[in-house]
Structure 1
């Protein structure tokens, strides 16, 4: 079930997001909310196609929101523009809690590339809002992330997917190192996941978790997607399934 074209006036500009609710949805029941953010240049329609989160929501019964960036971009950590996308998405989220009855203890964010970077930004700059994020082919990178004080003030668990053939791989790995050092995350041994892929899980000082999927044969893609532009079907990992599984085990935590 699509609820198309929700307008939202923010900082004097018309912004838009779309919401997908599962069959049988009624606002009397509190459902988890997953915010899915597109790459640059793209929009929420493409994010839905790439990730197939609507089908996952229908099966597992949760809400999905797709905020549109201005000029097909978010003002994330390294790109693009100067819009207050943190404020826009924070306001969108509050509206979904107030009017769609989204569960404030189970609000999550994910995205790819520019949208993945944005999920890290939201984790830091919307304290107390998100329970967990899942950046795919994106990173905790850029000038802000270089600052040791730029870190979450409330616990936000992370599951990230990094392709070994991604041209930004080294930057993403540096970002993982920064986050882990600042939150004192202690990683366990990598586990094999379908061939040469690995999953490494870390427990952090603030009770959050940081899980990294390293996919050595993948580039700048969404693993498990059939999309011909940014999908990757051959890695043996389905990010959408693994992200939702991670989210279900990570409701909001108290520091």
Structure 2
């Protein structure tokens, strides 16, 4: 069963270069870390002024995809330009046997049966070093560093919220809950979590996989307890803005957490393994529907932008 899920995830979450209609990245970078050359694309908004600190968003691709695929899927560059933050798209490592899509690019999200786990790839430490890279090169506000991701990248973002919450103020996780082994840990500190899960997701089941991936409800319960938010959410259904789109989006907000943290669930009824308003990157029968009632990247930013890391110096370093 788990092997089948991994095979499907590898195929369905890959947004390949042939599918993309985007230009070259605004910037790219690399550095050697723990025996690997780690690479990443990133975007600097035109409003950037080195005298003023700006937030940093790191967006992680899904299994089998890459930085270019995540740029195409999320459209985060447009949001970064509009809102004035830097967005980075790192590449994972490529380990294991080849598939139809080549080597399996994947984040070590905490599941114990992946090549990256078996090889001891420390993607959490790499992310920590990536933050150092941007803080050394640009004027980053250390209180406003966020992570987001799709599928395997979403599961990894949940891991970061547990293990790197001393540097990350919040995450926006799309189609990926907590990995079971990571859920056995206690987060370093409070962190705002925004989770988007498709009820009809055929790749990552909404109800999870026993002893492998937590269900959506169990993931929310974990974060509600970790952040000590209210236990009863404020529930609304968002307007169905796109005619002909049958999907519905239920928003559940658990507020009142430590240091003002929140836990927010976007329960996407009728949708599959997709990014809200992103591309229909594979056939509906394989991945389910995309909801076009919200822009996932804009919503992630809107939900996270007011949340700051407790104890971090808000203004960052002046250059």
Determine the C-alpha separation between the residues in 2 that align with 1:68 and 1:234: 26
Match of residue 254 from structure 2: 202
Match of residue 33 from structure 2: 10
Structure 1: 5+ residue stretches without partners:
none
**Displacement of 1:174 after TM fit?**
2.0
8 Å CA contact 1:222, 1:231 repeated in 2: no
Match of residue 46 from structure 1: 69
8 Å CA contact 1:86, 1:122 repeated in 2: yes
Match of 2:195 among 144, 153, 160: 160
Match of residue 206 from structure 2: 169
**Displacement of 1:93 after TM fit?**
0.5
Tell me the TM-score normalised to structure 2 length. Answer: 0.74
8 Å CA contact 1:226, 1:233 repeated in 2: yes
Determine the C-alpha separation between the residues in 2 that align with 1:231 and 1:68: 26
The answer on 1:189 being equivalent to 2:234 is yes
8 Å CA contact 2:276, 2:296 repeated in 1: yes
Determine the C-alpha separation between the residues in 2 that align with 1:210 and 1:241: 17
Determine the C-alpha separation between the residues in 2 that align with 1:215 and 1:123: 22
8 Å CA contact 1:49, 1:227 repeated in 2: no
RMSD of aligned C-alpha atoms? 2.0
Match of residue 45 from structure 2: 22
SS at match of 2:298: helix
Greater Cα offset, 245-254 or 92-101? 245-254
8 Å CA contact 1:154, 1:254 repeated in 2: no
SS at match of 1:169: coil
Greater Cα offset, 175-184 or 154-163? 175-184
The answer on 1:219 being equivalent to 2:256 is no
**Displacement of 1:235 after TM fit?**
4.5
**Displacement of 1:211 after TM fit?**
0.6
8 Å CA contact 2:271, 2:290 repeated in 1: no
SS at match of 2:144: strand
**Displacement of 1:164 after TM fit?**
0.7
Match of residue 116 from structure 1: 154
Query: Once the two structures are superposed, what CA deviation does each residue of 1:168-205 show, in whole Å capped at 9, x if it has no partner?
Result: 20122222222223433323231111243211111254
SS at match of 2:225: helix
Tell me the TM-score normalised to structure 1 length. Answer: 0.91
SS at match of 1:222: coil
Determine the C-alpha separation between the residues in 1 that align with 2:44 and 2:289: 26
Structure 2: 5+ residue stretches without partners:
1-24, 95-104, 209-215, 241-247, 313-319
1:133–1:231 distance in 2 versus 1, CA, 3 Å: farther
Match of residue 246 from structure 1: 303
Determine the C-alpha separation between the residues in 1 that align with 2:136 and 2:280: 34
**Displacement of 1:232 after TM fit?**
5.2
Greater Cα offset, 229-238 or 18-27? 229-238
1:9–1:175 distance in 2 versus 1, CA, 3 Å: same
8 Å CA contact 2:73, 2:275 repeated in 1: yes
Match of 1:94 among 111, 132, 138: 132
Give runs of aligned pairs for residues 67-78 of structure 1, distance below 5 A.
67-71=90-94, 72-78=105-111
Query: Once the two structures are superposed, what CA deviation does each residue of 1:57-92 show, in whole Å capped at 9, x if it has no partner?
Result: 111111001111001210003274131000111101
Match of residue 131 from structure 1: 169
Q: How many residues align?
A: 251
Match of residue 20 from structure 2: none
